[in-house]
Structure formats: structure tokens, C-alpha cells
A and B are shown apart, each in its own frame.
Chain A
Amino acid sequence: MSRRKFCSASAAAAVTALVSPLPALAQSAARIVVIGGGFGGASCARALKQIDPKLQVTLVEPNRTFIACPFSNNVVAGLRSLEQQKFGYDKVAASGITVVALEATTINAAARTVGLADGTSLAYDRLVLSPGIELRFDALSGYDEAAAAKMPHAWKAGEQTLLLRKQLEAMDDGGLVVIAAPANPFRCPPGPYERACLIAHYLKTRKPRSKLIILDAKDTFSKQRLFQNAWKELYPGMIEWISLSQGGKVNAVDPATNTLITDFGNHTAQVANVIPPQRAGRIAAIAGATDNTGWCAIDPVTFESRSAPNIHVIGDACLAGAMPKSAFSANAQAKTCANAIATLVAGGSPAAPKLINTCYSLAAPDYGISIAGVYHPKNGSLADVEGAGGVSPLEASRDFRAREADYAQSWFATITAEVFG
């Protein structure tokens, strides 16, 4: 039963509510705790409050400032400042959400409590986890947090983004940049290839004798033909992609010499950007919401965890079937999850949703490409709606590419305004 049907049926039920008004009060005061203040978590908190202002919504996020990953490749390429990626939680708090600037350290799913770093705890009726990713420092021999200070991943925006930028600035003309891309699934599937484009854009204009190699643990990647066309058109001879079957998988790194080691040989880079395998943010495992993949299986209608009742997982941390790990996906999932939770706490059954993802990449500041998809619950997961979605046309005018670049900028302004503004 959808919430709408539930509500129209509730006139009769209200007789019971009048006799015993407590359940109605309890519903309106449901406590929802959201862990993680990124595109997923902050969106979900705000959507919950918007759907039903009476809900008690708490957002748990230790960082006072959120630094967005989308467009952080522009920061790497010197096209944008990191300041333009930063957002605070003042507006989130002003919309009636309690923002707790502490790390969530424990979850007791049976007692429905979240333990915080200061020893206090929060009780919840429903918990939403949107913790993003954790880098798997155990997955790539030689790559640990200390190695990341030499061979940055820059896959969480902030100091790492600036470190990669500084290394590119310090590199000689004629230097070699190597990007190591992981196997699926990982945050932002087109991200390594957009990064290659924008770094090449910087090299072309400032250090034109330089080269860039992508060592890939995959044989195919998101928007592949579009990226490859852009490399030929915009950066001829500058970018080399070495696929899995060509020996591209990096098995180990040596930070002392900036060397990336594959089955087929070693690559010593002036600048080595190592994007390691990932898993769901740590709190998801603590909650018992991860499976043996390290990610979180979810119900495609409510985003409730398959293994942890009353706990919902959205954004990069969840396995959402055909939906990629993107900020747009996280935001769309957040709103779907918020509607489902509002229905559930009111005693209804959420209707099957449809979700959309749109993801833009820039091959150059005025050259955008995109992928889109429409998804619906099917066989217990989220599947592509057949006949919909796909990538930008392979043959398109530069005007078309420029418009997609413009829409990419608009998308970022709009989504960050919706989430944080």
C-alpha cells in the first residue's frame, strides 16, 4: 500500500487514533538519524524534513566543511580552486535538522542507538547510512596511508586533491604522469578518465612534451568511446590507456621510487596518481550492513539494508544494481529513501520508485560528455529501464559538447544549492 492509499484509508483508522492518540503522536515524532553529510546524507536529511517537518532529523557528520568530489578534477588541473568545492552545514541546520559534528563510532542495531565519539549516543527509529567510501589500503601491495602522501589517490577531495595539483605543477615538461584505475565497483566510474583529460589539458597548455599513461584494472570503462574520441581529438599522442588484458592492472607500488608494478612491467612516474580499490565507509561494516564485497546490499524500493533492519544505506556505499556511484545517484537515492522512510514511519508501504542518474564529465573546460539512466526495481535490485539512458552521441558538434559542459556546471550549482544552500 502506498502512503497515498494508506492516507486515504486512514479516515476510518483515525477513529482508533482518536481513542488512543498516542500512536499518531509517536508517528509524527519519529527519530531519524542520518550518518554522513555528503550528497546522499545531507540530501536525505533535508528531504525528510521537507516531507514531514515533524520528523526529528539528526545529521551526524564530523567535518564542519564538506568538500565535493565532482569538479575536483578541475582543481587538479588548475581550472578551479578548492574553495569552490567547499560547503558548510549552516543552511542544513537552519532547516530544522540537528547537525552533530562528531564521528559515529558504534551502532547497536538491536537497541537502535548510534554511539558517538564523545561517548554519548543517539536513539533512532530509522537510521540512514551515507558514509561514502573507504579506501582499501590493504588491497594494493605497498599502498598505505603513508604511500598516499607520496602517490596521492585524490579520490576524497581535500588535501589529496591539492597534493596531486602541486605535484603536477612541480613536474618538468616532458615528465610522465601515471594514473592507476581500479576494478569495478568504485566511486565515480568515469572519474579516472575525466581526470586524464583535464590533466592532459593542463599539460598541453603548460608542459606539452609530457605524457600520461592510464594503467587500468579493467578492459572497459564508462563513456569509453567518447573519452577515447576526445583523447584523439583534443590530446593526440599524449594519453595512453593500458587495459587489463594489455597488462594494465597494478599489483603493487613502490612509493620510494614512484613505481607502479604490473605483471607486464614497471612504470616509474614523475607523478603517480594511485586510485586504489574501495569499499563502503567504515561505519557501514560496524552496522553490519556490508556483505563480503565490502559494499551494502539494499532493498531497491526503500534502500533498507538486506542485513541490518531499520538501517538504510544510500550513495556510494550501497550496491544499487545498475545505478553507478555518482553524486547524482546519491541525491536521487536520498530523496527516494526519505519518501520511503516517511511512509514507513507513518505505517504505510512505499510504492515502487523510479530513479534517474545523470553524470557529466569534462574532456576539456568547454567539452562535456554525459551518461544518463532510468532505473526501476527488478528482481530485487535496481535495473535499467530498457530503451532509456545511454551516453552522449559519438558524433556531435563542438557546440553540442560545449552545451554539455555548460549543463555540467549548471548541474553542480543546482545540486549543491539543493543539498547545502
Chain B
Amino acid sequence: MKALCVVIGLATVMASSLPVLAASDPPPGAASCSGCHSGGATGSSVSRLNGRDAGEIATAMAGFRDGSLPATVMNRIAKGFSDDELRAMAAWLAAQK
């Protein structure tokens, strides 16, 4: 029994490397954003999202969606996502380097 506990303990340590990989799993829609929103400095007119405050991103997306925030294209995109999806995307983008 003691040996089994050691085995489980070891196994948990080994498995702990896997959730790191899972943390990079983008929620629905989030992987597309980097097509326009640079992760680095390119002197782009389009704002950088990676590492930005999650609340700020989610609030902006909600504003684009209901039209309270002016947009060219983001109003059309934000309408494709629910509140939960926008929050998940914002949290994921905020966690990106």
C-alpha cells in the first residue's frame, strides 16, 4: 500500500507537466485573433492584446458587440461570441506573452 502511494505521488509529479500544455489551449475563437493583433511590436495600428488586462479586453469586446464602442470590423466579430466566450478569450489573451 505504501509503495502504491509512492507510485501515485510520483505519477502526480510526472503528470503535473501536462496541465502546462493544457494552459496554452486557446478557448473557441481566441487562436484567430493573432491574425490581426500582433503579439510583438510591428508598429501596427491594431492594438496588441497579449498580456493586456483581461477585464479591459472583455469590456471592449462587449462594447463592440452592443455598439456602444465604435468599431470598423470588431463589431461584426464580437457578435459571434457569448459573454462566457468573450471572458474566456480575454483571460487567455491576457495570459499570453
Report A's interface with B, CB cutoff 8 A: 2-4, 7-8, 10-15, 17-18, 24, 47, 50-52, 328, 331-332, 335-336, 339, 342-343, 346, 351-358, 370, 372-374, 376, 385, 387-390, 392, 400, 403-404, 406-407, 409-411, 413-415, 417-418
B interface list, Cβ under 8 A from A: 7-8, 10-12, 14-15, 18-19, 21-22, 24-26, 28-29, 31-40, 42-46, 72-73, 76-81, 85
Cβ–Cβ contact A385 & B80, under 8 A = yes
A15 touches which of B7, B31, B32, B80 (Cβ 8 Å): B7
Residues of chain B contacted by A372 (CB below 8 angstroms): 73, 76-77
A47 vs B14: C-alpha distance when bound (angstroms): 24
Which of B19, B46, B80 meets A388, CB within 8 Å? B80
Q: Main SS of chain A's interface residues?
A: helix
Q: B11 contacts A354, CB within 8 Å? A: no
A292 to B21, CA, bound (A): 39
| CB atoms of B38 and A418 under 8 A apart | yes
Minimum CB distance partner of A355 in chain B: B32
Q: A10-B15, A339-B26, A354-B85 are in contact. Are A374 and B80 (CB under 8 A)?
A: yes
Interface contact B73-A3, CB-CB below 8 Å: no
Whole-angstrom distance from the CB of B70 to the nearest CB of chain A?
Answer: 10
Q: Does the CB pair B37–A370 fall under 8 Å?
A: no
What is the minimal beta-carbon distance from B20 to any residue of chain A, in angstroms?
Answer: 9
CA distance A7 to B85 in the complex (A): 21
Return the chain A residue nearest B16 by Cβ: A11
A335 to B21, CA, bound (A): 15
A406 to B36, CA, bound (A): 12
* Inter-chain contact A407/B81, CB cutoff 8 Å: no
Give the residue among A10, A353, A354 with the most B Cβ atoms within 10 A.
A354
Closest to B76 in A: A372
| Nearest B residue to A6, CB-CB | B22
Q: Which residue of A lies closest to B12 (CB)?
A: A11
List residues of chain B with CB within 8 A of the CB of A51. Answer: 21, 24
Q: Can you name the residue of chain A whose Cβ is closest to the Cβ of B28?
A: A354
Contact of A418 among B12, B15, B22, B35 (CB under 8 A): B35
In the complex, A14 Cα to B35 Cα: how many Å?
36
